[in-house]
Amino acid sequence: MSSCVFSSDSHIARTHTSREKVHGSGSSYGMAESGANEFLLGATANGCIKGVQRALEAGADIDFDPLENWSPGSRAVKDFFGTSLPPCTALYFACGTGRVDLVKLLLRKGASLVRRTMGEFAPLHAAAQNGRTEIVDLLVQNGATLDIRDGFQDTPLMAACSYNNVDTVRRLIELGARPDFTDGHLGRKLQIGQAEDCDSAEESLKLIREAKKTNLLRCCNPKCGKPGYRSTGTLKLCGRCKLTRYCSRDCQKQHWSVGHKKCCGHDAYTGTGLDTFQKRQKTSMYIAEQQSGLIIFKPGQISYRKAHYTATK
Series of mean pLDDT values for 10-residue runs along the chain (313 residues): 44 34 44 75 89 93 85 61 75 93 96 84 93 95 90 90 93 91 82 53 88 84 79 76 84 83 72 63 71 36 37 32
The top-level CATH class assigned to 1-114+273-313 is: mainly alpha
Query: Closest Cα partner for 165 from 134, 191, 142, 193?
Result: 134
User: What's the pTM?
Assistant: 0.77
CB 58 within 8 A of CB 43: no
User: Which residue type occupies 96?
Assistant: G
Q: State the Cα–Cα distance between residues 140 and 197, nearest whole angstrom.
A: 32
CB 140 within 8 A of CB 148: no
Q: State the Cα–Cα distance between residues 183 and 158, nearest whole angstrom.
A: 10
User: Which DSSP string corresponds to 232-249?
Assistant: TT-SEEPTTTSS-EESSH
CB atoms near residue 261 (< 10 Å): 11
